[in-house]
Chains A and B, each alone.
Chain A
Amino acid sequence: MNDKHILKVEHLNFYYSSKQVLFDINMNIEKNMTTALIGPSGCGKTTFLRCFNRMHDLYKNNRYEGKIIYNGENILTMRDSINLRSKIGMVFQSPTPFPMSVFDNVAYGLRLNGIKNKAELTDRVENALMKAALWDEVKDRLNTTASGLSGGQQQRLVIARALAVEPDILLFDEPTSALDPIATAKIEELMVELKKITTIIVVTHNMQQAARISDFTAFFYLGKLVEMGKTDEFFTRPKNRQTENYISGRFG
Protein backbone atom coordinates (compact mmCIF):
# COMPACT_ATOMS: atom_id res chain seq x y z
CA MET A 1 0.00 0.00 0.00
CA ASN A 2 1.30 3.33 -1.07
CA ASP A 3 1.57 5.57 1.98
CA LYS A 4 0.20 8.62 0.23
CA HIS A 5 -3.07 6.66 0.14
CA ILE A 6 -4.87 7.31 3.39
CA LEU A 7 -7.86 5.15 2.46
CA LYS A 8 -8.09 2.10 0.27
CA VAL A 9 -11.48 0.80 -0.75
CA GLU A 10 -11.44 -2.85 -1.85
CA HIS A 11 -14.34 -4.71 -3.44
CA LEU A 12 -16.92 -2.78 -1.49
CA ASN A 13 -20.55 -3.89 -1.79
CA PHE A 14 -23.35 -2.32 0.18
CA TYR A 15 -26.92 -3.48 0.77
CA TYR A 16 -30.00 -1.83 2.27
CA SER A 17 -31.69 -5.06 3.44
CA SER A 18 -31.65 -7.18 0.31
CA LYS A 19 -31.29 -4.23 -2.07
CA GLN A 20 -27.71 -3.90 -3.30
CA VAL A 21 -26.78 -0.25 -3.86
CA LEU A 22 -22.97 -0.34 -4.26
CA PHE A 23 -21.23 -2.84 -6.52
CA ASP A 24 -17.59 -3.85 -6.16
CA ILE A 25 -16.11 -0.41 -5.58
CA ASN A 26 -12.30 -0.13 -5.66
CA MET A 27 -10.70 3.23 -5.01
CA ASN A 28 -7.71 4.86 -3.36
CA ILE A 29 -8.00 8.18 -1.57
CA GLU A 30 -4.88 10.33 -1.45
CA LYS A 31 -3.79 12.09 1.70
CA ASN A 32 -4.26 15.86 1.86
CA MET A 33 -6.16 15.85 -1.38
CA THR A 34 -9.79 16.51 -2.16
CA THR A 35 -11.71 13.77 -3.90
CA ALA A 36 -15.07 14.69 -5.41
CA LEU A 37 -17.80 12.11 -5.95
CA ILE A 38 -20.18 12.97 -8.77
CA GLY A 39 -22.97 11.18 -10.55
CA PRO A 40 -26.71 11.37 -11.15
CA SER A 41 -29.08 11.42 -8.19
CA GLY A 42 -29.60 7.99 -6.67
CA CYS A 43 -26.37 6.49 -8.00
CA GLY A 44 -25.08 5.79 -4.48
CA LYS A 45 -22.77 8.73 -3.67
CA THR A 46 -24.25 9.35 -0.23
CA THR A 47 -24.40 5.64 0.50
CA PHE A 48 -20.72 5.33 -0.39
CA LEU A 49 -19.69 8.33 1.70
CA ARG A 50 -21.53 7.01 4.76
CA CYS A 51 -19.51 3.77 4.65
CA PHE A 52 -16.35 5.62 5.70
CA ASN A 53 -17.65 6.57 9.15
CA ARG A 54 -19.98 3.58 9.42
CA MET A 55 -23.07 5.77 9.55
CA HIS A 56 -25.04 2.84 8.16
CA ASP A 57 -24.58 1.02 11.48
CA LEU A 58 -27.31 3.22 12.92
CA TYR A 59 -29.99 1.43 10.96
CA LYS A 60 -30.95 -2.20 11.04
CA ASN A 61 -30.44 -4.59 8.12
CA ASN A 62 -27.73 -2.52 6.43
CA ARG A 63 -24.84 -4.68 5.29
CA TYR A 64 -21.31 -4.07 4.00
CA GLU A 65 -19.02 -6.45 2.14
CA GLY A 66 -15.39 -5.86 1.25
CA LYS A 67 -12.87 -3.61 2.92
CA ILE A 68 -12.02 0.01 3.54
CA ILE A 69 -8.44 0.03 4.81
CA TYR A 70 -7.43 2.93 7.05
CA ASN A 71 -4.19 2.86 9.05
CA GLY A 72 -3.81 -0.80 8.17
CA GLU A 73 -7.20 -1.71 9.60
CA ASN A 74 -10.51 -2.50 7.95
CA ILE A 75 -12.97 0.23 8.94
CA LEU A 76 -15.93 -2.02 8.21
CA THR A 77 -15.01 -4.55 10.89
CA MET A 78 -13.57 -2.16 13.48
CA ARG A 79 -15.00 -2.57 16.97
CA ASP A 80 -14.68 1.03 18.03
CA SER A 81 -16.80 3.16 15.72
CA ILE A 82 -16.64 5.98 18.29
CA ASN A 83 -12.90 6.41 17.95
CA LEU A 84 -13.22 6.04 14.19
CA ARG A 85 -15.69 8.91 14.09
CA SER A 86 -13.31 11.26 15.85
CA LYS A 87 -10.77 10.50 13.11
CA ILE A 88 -13.24 10.70 10.21
CA GLY A 89 -15.64 13.64 10.54
CA MET A 90 -18.76 14.38 8.53
CA VAL A 91 -20.57 17.51 7.35
CA PHE A 92 -24.15 17.18 6.15
CA GLN A 93 -26.24 18.70 3.41
CA SER A 94 -28.05 21.26 5.54
CA PRO A 95 -26.38 22.83 8.57
CA THR A 96 -26.84 20.88 11.82
CA PRO A 97 -26.05 23.23 14.71
CA PHE A 98 -26.86 21.64 18.08
CA PRO A 99 -29.33 23.47 20.32
CA MET A 100 -26.60 25.06 22.42
CA SER A 101 -24.15 27.95 22.31
CA VAL A 102 -21.57 28.50 19.57
CA PHE A 103 -18.83 27.53 22.02
CA ASP A 104 -20.56 24.36 23.21
CA ASN A 105 -21.19 23.31 19.63
CA VAL A 106 -17.51 23.41 18.77
CA ALA A 107 -16.54 21.90 22.12
CA TYR A 108 -19.01 19.02 21.74
CA GLY A 109 -16.65 16.53 20.14
CA LEU A 110 -13.81 17.56 22.46
CA ARG A 111 -15.93 16.91 25.54
CA LEU A 112 -16.97 13.55 24.09
CA ASN A 113 -13.29 12.72 23.94
CA GLY A 114 -12.96 13.49 27.61
CA ILE A 115 -11.37 16.95 27.45
CA LYS A 116 -12.62 18.93 30.45
CA ASN A 117 -9.86 21.44 31.07
CA LYS A 118 -11.38 24.87 30.51
CA ALA A 119 -8.21 26.46 29.13
CA GLU A 120 -7.60 23.63 26.70
CA LEU A 121 -11.23 23.72 25.54
CA THR A 122 -11.12 27.48 24.99
CA ASP A 123 -7.89 27.13 23.10
CA ARG A 124 -9.04 24.38 20.82
CA VAL A 125 -12.45 25.94 20.18
CA GLU A 126 -10.80 29.19 19.12
CA ASN A 127 -8.35 27.28 16.96
CA ALA A 128 -11.10 25.31 15.22
CA LEU A 129 -13.16 28.44 14.59
CA MET A 130 -10.10 30.12 13.06
CA LYS A 131 -9.50 27.17 10.77
CA ALA A 132 -13.14 27.28 9.71
CA ALA A 133 -12.81 31.01 8.94
CA LEU A 134 -15.57 31.83 11.40
CA TRP A 135 -13.65 33.23 14.37
CA ASP A 136 -13.92 36.90 13.44
CA GLU A 137 -17.66 36.64 12.97
CA VAL A 138 -18.45 34.85 16.24
CA LYS A 139 -15.70 35.76 18.69
CA ASP A 140 -17.99 38.25 20.44
CA ARG A 141 -20.94 35.89 20.61
CA LEU A 142 -19.48 32.56 21.63
CA ASN A 143 -22.08 32.15 24.36
CA THR A 144 -25.13 32.92 22.29
CA THR A 145 -27.18 30.16 20.75
CA ALA A 146 -25.91 28.77 17.47
CA SER A 147 -29.30 28.83 15.78
CA GLY A 148 -29.00 32.61 15.51
CA LEU A 149 -26.21 32.34 12.95
CA SER A 150 -26.89 32.57 9.22
CA GLY A 151 -27.04 29.38 7.16
CA GLY A 152 -23.53 29.84 5.81
CA GLN A 153 -22.16 30.61 9.27
CA GLN A 154 -23.92 27.56 10.66
CA GLN A 155 -22.32 25.36 8.04
CA ARG A 156 -18.87 26.77 8.89
CA LEU A 157 -19.69 26.22 12.57
CA VAL A 158 -20.41 22.58 11.81
CA ILE A 159 -17.09 22.39 9.97
CA ALA A 160 -15.36 23.94 12.98
CA ARG A 161 -17.06 21.39 15.22
CA ALA A 162 -15.74 18.59 13.04
CA LEU A 163 -12.26 20.15 12.88
CA ALA A 164 -11.99 20.63 16.63
CA VAL A 165 -11.20 16.95 17.23
CA GLU A 166 -8.48 17.16 14.55
CA PRO A 167 -9.76 14.48 12.18
CA ASP A 168 -7.61 12.90 9.49
CA ILE A 169 -10.45 12.88 7.02
CA LEU A 170 -13.55 15.03 6.50
CA LEU A 171 -16.58 13.74 4.61
CA PHE A 172 -18.87 16.33 3.01
CA ASP A 173 -22.27 15.42 1.58
CA GLU A 174 -23.36 18.22 -0.76
CA PRO A 175 -22.28 20.79 1.83
CA THR A 176 -23.44 23.81 -0.13
CA SER A 177 -26.72 22.66 -1.61
CA ALA A 178 -28.71 24.52 1.05
CA LEU A 179 -26.68 27.74 0.78
CA ASP A 180 -26.78 30.88 -1.34
CA PRO A 181 -23.96 31.60 -3.85
CA ILE A 182 -21.97 33.87 -1.54
CA ALA A 183 -22.04 31.42 1.36
CA THR A 184 -21.22 28.66 -1.12
CA ALA A 185 -18.16 30.53 -2.35
CA LYS A 186 -16.95 30.93 1.23
CA ILE A 187 -17.32 27.23 1.98
CA GLU A 188 -15.51 26.29 -1.23
CA GLU A 189 -12.68 28.66 -0.39
CA LEU A 190 -12.50 27.13 3.05
CA MET A 191 -12.40 23.58 1.70
CA VAL A 192 -9.43 24.44 -0.50
CA GLU A 193 -7.68 25.81 2.62
CA LEU A 194 -8.54 22.73 4.67
CA LYS A 195 -6.63 20.35 2.42
CA LYS A 196 -3.47 21.46 4.19
CA ILE A 197 -4.60 19.89 7.43
CA THR A 198 -6.96 17.13 6.40
CA THR A 199 -8.12 14.89 3.58
CA ILE A 200 -11.48 15.64 2.02
CA ILE A 201 -14.06 13.48 0.29
CA VAL A 202 -16.95 15.53 -1.03
CA VAL A 203 -20.19 14.51 -2.71
CA THR A 204 -21.49 17.13 -5.07
CA HIS A 205 -24.11 17.24 -7.77
CA ASN A 206 -22.44 20.33 -9.15
CA MET A 207 -19.71 19.53 -11.66
CA GLN A 208 -18.37 23.08 -11.68
CA GLN A 209 -17.90 22.78 -7.95
CA ALA A 210 -16.07 19.47 -8.36
CA ALA A 211 -13.83 21.07 -10.97
CA ARG A 212 -13.13 24.10 -8.77
CA ILE A 213 -12.27 22.41 -5.51
CA SER A 214 -11.12 18.85 -6.10
CA ASP A 215 -7.87 17.16 -7.08
CA PHE A 216 -9.53 13.89 -7.97
CA THR A 217 -12.97 13.20 -9.32
CA ALA A 218 -14.85 9.91 -9.25
CA PHE A 219 -17.93 9.32 -11.37
CA PHE A 220 -20.57 6.93 -10.06
CA TYR A 221 -23.39 5.47 -12.07
CA LEU A 222 -26.00 2.95 -10.86
CA GLY A 223 -23.92 2.01 -7.84
CA LYS A 224 -20.71 1.41 -9.76
CA LEU A 225 -17.54 3.47 -9.96
CA VAL A 226 -17.29 4.24 -13.65
CA GLU A 227 -14.16 6.35 -13.76
CA MET A 228 -11.81 8.14 -11.43
CA GLY A 229 -8.92 10.40 -12.25
CA LYS A 230 -7.10 13.68 -11.66
CA THR A 231 -9.78 16.35 -11.85
CA ASP A 232 -8.27 18.38 -14.70
CA GLU A 233 -7.76 15.30 -16.87
CA PHE A 234 -11.12 13.88 -15.82
CA PHE A 235 -13.05 16.87 -17.13
CA THR A 236 -10.93 17.52 -20.22
CA ARG A 237 -10.08 13.99 -21.35
CA PRO A 238 -12.55 11.50 -19.86
CA LYS A 239 -11.70 7.94 -20.80
CA ASN A 240 -15.18 6.49 -20.55
CA ARG A 241 -18.14 7.19 -22.86
CA GLN A 242 -20.61 7.35 -19.95
CA THR A 243 -18.39 9.87 -18.15
CA GLU A 244 -18.13 11.95 -21.27
CA ASN A 245 -21.89 11.93 -21.74
CA TYR A 246 -22.46 12.89 -18.12
CA ILE A 247 -19.98 15.77 -17.92
CA SER A 248 -21.13 17.17 -21.23
CA GLY A 249 -24.65 17.25 -19.83
CA ARG A 250 -26.15 14.64 -22.12
CA PHE A 251 -27.79 12.84 -19.21
CA GLY A 252 -28.35 13.07 -15.44
Chain B
Amino acid sequence: MTNLKKRKITNIFFLTISTLTAFLGLFWLVMILGDLFIQGASSINWKLFVDDFAPPGFGDGGLRPAFVGQLIIVSTAFIIGIPIGLLGGTFIAEYGRNSKTAKLISTLSDLAGSIPSIVVGTFIYAVIVRTTGHFSAFSGSLALALIMIPVMLKTTENMLNLVPWQLREAAFALGAPYYKVIFQIVYKSASVGLLTGAVLSVARIAGETAPLLFTSLNNTFFSLNITKPMASLTVTIYRYAMGPYNDWHKLAWAGSFVITVFILLATLISRFIVNRRYKN
Protein backbone atom coordinates (compact mmCIF):
# COMPACT_ATOMS: atom_id res chain seq x y z
CA MET B 1 0.00 0.00 0.00
CA THR B 2 1.32 3.49 -0.77
CA ASN B 3 1.59 6.06 1.92
CA LEU B 4 -1.14 8.19 0.37
CA LYS B 5 -3.59 5.30 0.22
CA LYS B 6 -2.84 4.48 3.83
CA ARG B 7 -3.55 8.04 4.88
CA LYS B 8 -6.77 8.12 2.89
CA ILE B 9 -8.04 4.95 4.52
CA THR B 10 -7.09 6.14 8.00
CA ASN B 11 -8.83 9.38 7.23
CA ILE B 12 -12.06 7.72 6.14
CA PHE B 13 -11.91 5.36 9.13
CA PHE B 14 -11.70 8.16 11.67
CA LEU B 15 -14.21 10.32 9.87
CA THR B 16 -16.72 7.46 9.98
CA ILE B 17 -16.07 6.67 13.62
CA SER B 18 -16.32 10.28 14.77
CA THR B 19 -19.49 10.88 12.76
CA LEU B 20 -21.05 7.73 14.19
CA THR B 21 -20.20 8.65 17.78
CA ALA B 22 -21.52 12.15 17.23
CA PHE B 23 -24.80 10.68 16.03
CA LEU B 24 -24.86 8.23 18.89
CA GLY B 25 -24.54 11.11 21.36
CA LEU B 26 -27.18 13.08 19.55
CA PHE B 27 -29.43 10.02 19.43
CA TRP B 28 -29.42 9.60 23.20
CA LEU B 29 -29.93 13.31 23.73
CA VAL B 30 -32.98 13.25 21.46
CA MET B 31 -34.27 10.09 23.14
CA ILE B 32 -33.92 11.53 26.64
CA LEU B 33 -35.42 14.90 25.75
CA GLY B 34 -38.13 13.28 23.65
CA ASP B 35 -39.12 10.91 26.46
CA LEU B 36 -39.04 13.76 28.94
CA PHE B 37 -41.22 15.95 26.77
CA ILE B 38 -43.78 13.25 26.03
CA GLN B 39 -44.02 11.97 29.62
CA GLY B 40 -43.48 15.35 31.24
CA ALA B 41 -45.69 17.56 29.12
CA SER B 42 -48.59 15.11 29.43
CA SER B 43 -48.32 15.23 33.24
CA ILE B 44 -48.33 19.02 33.42
CA ASN B 45 -51.40 20.85 34.63
CA TRP B 46 -52.09 23.94 36.69
CA LYS B 47 -52.72 21.93 39.87
CA LEU B 48 -49.06 21.02 39.82
CA PHE B 49 -48.16 24.55 40.77
CA VAL B 50 -50.92 25.30 43.30
CA ASP B 51 -51.47 22.04 45.17
CA ASP B 52 -49.37 20.77 48.03
CA PHE B 53 -48.03 17.23 48.25
CA ALA B 54 -50.75 14.58 48.70
CA PRO B 55 -50.11 11.49 50.78
CA PRO B 56 -49.57 8.38 48.62
CA GLY B 57 -52.80 6.79 47.49
CA PHE B 58 -54.74 10.04 47.86
CA GLY B 59 -53.76 10.89 44.32
CA ASP B 60 -53.58 14.18 42.55
CA GLY B 61 -51.24 16.19 44.72
CA GLY B 62 -49.17 19.06 43.34
CA LEU B 63 -45.57 20.14 43.69
CA ARG B 64 -46.10 23.65 45.05
CA PRO B 65 -43.84 23.19 48.13
CA ALA B 66 -41.08 21.88 45.89
CA PHE B 67 -41.33 24.74 43.37
CA VAL B 68 -41.42 27.39 46.06
CA GLY B 69 -38.66 25.67 48.00
CA GLN B 70 -36.48 25.40 44.93
CA LEU B 71 -37.02 29.08 44.23
CA ILE B 72 -36.11 30.08 47.78
CA ILE B 73 -33.04 27.83 47.96
CA VAL B 74 -31.71 28.92 44.55
CA SER B 75 -32.44 32.63 45.16
CA THR B 76 -30.64 32.54 48.49
CA ALA B 77 -27.71 30.79 46.84
CA PHE B 78 -27.76 33.50 44.16
CA ILE B 79 -27.73 36.30 46.71
CA ILE B 80 -24.73 34.73 48.45
CA GLY B 81 -22.83 33.30 45.51
CA ILE B 82 -23.06 35.97 42.82
CA PRO B 83 -21.64 38.92 44.82
CA ILE B 84 -18.78 36.78 46.14
CA GLY B 85 -17.98 35.47 42.66
CA LEU B 86 -18.23 38.96 41.22
CA LEU B 87 -15.98 40.52 43.85
CA GLY B 88 -13.49 37.66 43.65
CA GLY B 89 -13.30 37.97 39.88
CA THR B 90 -12.95 41.73 40.24
CA PHE B 91 -10.06 41.32 42.65
CA ILE B 92 -8.29 38.98 40.25
CA ALA B 93 -8.83 41.13 37.16
CA GLU B 94 -8.42 44.55 38.77
CA TYR B 95 -6.89 45.19 42.18
CA GLY B 96 -4.80 42.05 42.28
CA ARG B 97 -4.02 41.91 38.57
CA ASN B 98 -0.76 40.05 37.86
CA SER B 99 -0.17 39.49 41.56
CA LYS B 100 0.69 36.09 43.00
CA THR B 101 -2.33 36.24 45.32
CA ALA B 102 -4.67 36.78 42.38
CA LYS B 103 -3.18 33.87 40.42
CA LEU B 104 -3.43 31.65 43.49
CA ILE B 105 -7.10 32.53 44.04
CA SER B 106 -7.87 32.00 40.36
CA THR B 107 -6.25 28.55 40.40
CA LEU B 108 -7.89 27.54 43.68
CA SER B 109 -11.25 28.64 42.33
CA ASP B 110 -10.74 26.52 39.21
CA LEU B 111 -9.94 23.57 41.45
CA ALA B 112 -12.99 24.25 43.62
CA GLY B 113 -15.10 24.32 40.47
CA SER B 114 -14.09 20.79 39.64
CA ILE B 115 -15.01 19.33 43.04
CA PRO B 116 -17.99 16.96 42.63
CA SER B 117 -21.14 18.59 43.95
CA ILE B 118 -21.85 15.71 46.32
CA VAL B 119 -18.55 16.46 48.06
CA VAL B 120 -19.62 20.08 48.49
CA GLY B 121 -22.85 18.76 50.01
CA THR B 122 -21.05 16.55 52.51
CA PHE B 123 -18.70 19.40 53.37
CA ILE B 124 -21.61 21.69 54.25
CA TYR B 125 -23.22 18.79 56.09
CA ALA B 126 -20.12 18.43 58.26
CA VAL B 127 -19.59 22.14 58.81
CA ILE B 128 -23.12 23.52 59.10
CA VAL B 129 -25.69 20.77 59.51
CA ARG B 130 -23.71 18.85 62.13
CA THR B 131 -22.82 21.96 64.12
CA THR B 132 -26.32 23.45 64.07
CA GLY B 133 -27.76 20.02 64.72
CA HIS B 134 -30.40 20.05 62.00
CA PHE B 135 -30.95 20.20 58.27
CA SER B 136 -31.93 23.57 56.81
CA ALA B 137 -32.76 25.22 53.50
CA PHE B 138 -30.06 27.76 54.24
CA SER B 139 -27.35 25.11 54.38
CA GLY B 140 -28.60 23.89 50.99
CA SER B 141 -28.27 27.42 49.63
CA LEU B 142 -24.74 27.60 51.02
CA ALA B 143 -23.81 24.37 49.24
CA LEU B 144 -25.23 25.68 45.95
CA ALA B 145 -23.53 29.04 46.46
CA LEU B 146 -20.18 27.26 46.85
CA ILE B 147 -20.79 25.59 43.50
CA MET B 148 -21.79 28.88 41.86
CA ILE B 149 -18.86 30.96 43.06
CA PRO B 150 -16.16 29.46 40.80
CA VAL B 151 -18.42 29.81 37.75
CA MET B 152 -19.22 33.45 38.45
CA LEU B 153 -15.65 34.23 39.46
CA LYS B 154 -14.16 32.82 36.27
CA THR B 155 -16.72 34.54 34.05
CA THR B 156 -16.16 37.85 35.82
CA GLU B 157 -12.39 37.53 35.48
CA ASN B 158 -12.67 36.76 31.75
CA MET B 159 -15.22 39.46 31.02
CA LEU B 160 -13.31 42.18 32.88
CA ASN B 161 -10.14 41.20 31.06
CA LEU B 162 -11.93 41.89 27.78
CA VAL B 163 -12.41 45.55 28.73
CA PRO B 164 -9.53 47.49 27.14
CA TRP B 165 -7.03 49.04 29.55
CA GLN B 166 -7.12 52.31 27.72
CA LEU B 167 -10.76 52.76 28.75
CA ARG B 168 -9.78 52.53 32.42
CA GLU B 169 -6.86 54.87 31.84
CA ALA B 170 -9.18 57.38 30.19
CA ALA B 171 -11.27 57.45 33.37
CA PHE B 172 -8.18 57.69 35.57
CA ALA B 173 -6.99 60.55 33.39
CA LEU B 174 -10.12 62.48 34.38
CA GLY B 175 -9.26 61.96 38.03
CA ALA B 176 -11.57 59.04 38.81
CA PRO B 177 -10.60 56.83 41.77
CA TYR B 178 -10.27 53.10 41.06
CA TYR B 179 -13.57 52.02 42.64
CA LYS B 180 -15.49 54.48 40.48
CA VAL B 181 -13.64 53.29 37.40
CA ILE B 182 -14.68 49.72 38.22
CA PHE B 183 -18.30 50.43 39.08
CA GLN B 184 -19.06 53.10 36.49
CA ILE B 185 -16.89 52.09 33.54
CA VAL B 186 -15.62 48.51 33.76
CA TYR B 187 -18.80 46.81 35.05
CA LYS B 188 -20.89 48.76 32.58
CA SER B 189 -18.67 47.76 29.67
CA ALA B 190 -18.79 44.14 30.75
CA SER B 191 -22.45 44.16 31.83
CA VAL B 192 -23.71 41.73 29.21
CA GLY B 193 -20.95 39.26 29.96
CA LEU B 194 -21.50 39.55 33.70
CA LEU B 195 -25.21 39.00 33.31
CA THR B 196 -24.52 35.93 31.23
CA GLY B 197 -22.20 34.66 33.92
CA ALA B 198 -24.95 35.04 36.50
CA VAL B 199 -27.45 33.17 34.31
CA LEU B 200 -24.94 30.40 33.62
CA SER B 201 -24.22 30.05 37.34
CA VAL B 202 -27.92 29.58 38.01
CA ALA B 203 -28.21 27.05 35.20
CA ARG B 204 -25.24 25.25 36.69
CA ILE B 205 -26.89 24.75 40.12
CA ALA B 206 -30.59 24.65 39.33
CA GLY B 207 -30.54 20.93 38.56
CA GLU B 208 -28.32 19.84 41.48
CA THR B 209 -29.72 17.16 43.77
CA ALA B 210 -26.72 15.67 45.53
CA PRO B 211 -25.66 18.76 47.50
CA LEU B 212 -29.24 19.23 48.74
CA LEU B 213 -29.68 15.68 50.01
CA PHE B 214 -27.45 16.33 53.05
CA THR B 215 -28.43 19.93 53.60
CA SER B 216 -31.91 21.20 52.88
CA LEU B 217 -33.08 17.57 52.87
CA ASN B 218 -36.83 17.54 52.29
CA ASN B 219 -40.11 18.52 53.83
CA THR B 220 -43.48 16.92 53.18
CA PHE B 221 -45.19 20.19 54.12
CA PHE B 222 -45.16 23.61 52.58
CA SER B 223 -42.50 25.72 54.35
CA LEU B 224 -40.96 29.15 53.95
CA ASN B 225 -38.56 28.88 56.86
CA ILE B 226 -35.00 28.73 55.60
CA THR B 227 -33.69 27.59 58.98
CA LYS B 228 -35.74 24.38 58.65
CA PRO B 229 -35.60 21.56 56.13
CA MET B 230 -37.33 22.50 52.90
CA ALA B 231 -38.57 20.58 49.89
CA SER B 232 -36.77 21.28 46.65
CA LEU B 233 -37.76 20.28 43.15
CA THR B 234 -34.72 18.12 42.51
CA VAL B 235 -34.91 16.17 45.78
CA THR B 236 -38.65 15.75 45.31
CA ILE B 237 -38.13 14.38 41.81
CA TYR B 238 -35.57 11.98 43.24
CA ARG B 239 -37.93 10.85 46.00
CA TYR B 240 -40.97 10.50 43.73
CA ALA B 241 -39.12 8.74 40.94
CA MET B 242 -37.79 6.19 43.46
CA GLY B 243 -41.20 5.70 45.04
CA PRO B 244 -43.53 2.82 44.24
CA TYR B 245 -46.61 4.80 43.20
CA ASN B 246 -47.76 5.66 39.71
CA ASP B 247 -49.00 9.12 40.72
CA TRP B 248 -45.57 9.88 42.11
CA HIS B 249 -43.87 8.84 38.88
CA LYS B 250 -46.12 11.17 36.91
CA LEU B 251 -45.27 14.05 39.23
CA ALA B 252 -41.56 13.24 38.94
CA TRP B 253 -41.86 13.45 35.15
CA ALA B 254 -43.68 16.74 35.36
CA GLY B 255 -41.10 18.19 37.74
CA SER B 256 -38.24 17.00 35.53
CA PHE B 257 -39.90 18.57 32.56
CA VAL B 258 -40.25 21.96 34.23
CA ILE B 259 -36.69 22.07 35.54
CA THR B 260 -35.22 20.93 32.22
CA VAL B 261 -37.14 23.55 30.29
CA PHE B 262 -35.97 26.17 32.79
CA ILE B 263 -32.30 25.24 32.47
CA LEU B 264 -32.53 24.90 28.68
CA LEU B 265 -34.09 28.34 28.43
CA ALA B 266 -31.53 29.92 30.75
CA THR B 267 -28.67 28.41 28.75
CA LEU B 268 -30.20 29.38 25.42
CA ILE B 269 -30.86 32.94 26.53
CA SER B 270 -27.31 33.43 27.74
CA ARG B 271 -25.93 31.89 24.52
CA PHE B 272 -28.15 34.18 22.52
CA ILE B 273 -27.03 37.29 24.41
CA VAL B 274 -23.37 36.38 24.06
CA ASN B 275 -23.65 35.61 20.36
CA ARG B 276 -25.45 38.82 19.66
CA ARG B 277 -22.99 40.89 21.66
CA TYR B 278 -19.70 39.35 20.59
CA LYS B 279 -20.47 38.31 17.02
CA ASN B 280 -18.84 41.36 15.43
Q: What residues of chain A have their CB less than 8 Å away from a CB belonging to chain B?
A: 53, 55, 58, 81-86, 89-90, 92-94, 96, 98-100, 108-109, 112-113, 158, 161-162, 165
Contacts and interface: CB of A to CB of B under 8 A. Distances in A.
Contact of B167 (A58, A98, A165): A98
Nearest to A162: B174
B189 A99 contact: yes
Contact of B174 (A86, A94, A99, A100): A86
Chain B interface size range: 10 to 19
Given A55-B169, A92-B170, A82 B185 contact: no
B189 A85 contact: no
A212 to B, nearest CB: 25
Interface string B130-170: 00000000000000000000000000000000001011011
A112 B167 CA distance: 16
Nearest to A93: B166
A96 B167 contact: yes
Nearest to B187: A99
Contacts of B184: 98, 100, 108
A113 B169 CA distance: 17
A55 B174 contact: no
A10 B259 CA distance: 70
Interface class of chain B by DSSP: helix
A89 B174 CA distance: 7
B175 interface: yes
Contact of B176 (A83, A92, A93, A112): A112
A96 B171 CA distance: 9
B166 A92 contact: yes
> Could you say which of A108, A109, A161, A165 has the most chain B C-beta atoms within 10 Å of its C-beta?
A108
A112 B170 contact: no
B82 to A, nearest CB: 21
Contacts of A94: 166
Nearest to B189: A99
A165 B169 CA distance: 17
Contact of B185 (A81, A85, A92, A99): A99
Contacts of B169: 55, 58, 92, 96
Contacts of A86: 174-175
B278 to A, nearest CB: 14
A53 B177 CA distance: 14
Nearest to A167: B174
B103 interface: no
A31 to B, nearest CB: 21
Contact of B173 (A53, A93, A99): A53
B179 interface: no
Contacts of B164: 96
> Could you say which of B170, B173, B184, B189 has the most chain A C-beta atoms within 10 Å of its C-beta?
B173
Contact of B188 (A81, A89, A93, A99): A99
Nearest to A96: B170
Contacts of B23: none
A108 B174 contact: yes
B182 to A, nearest CB: 13
Contacts of B185: 98-99
A91 to B, nearest CB: 9
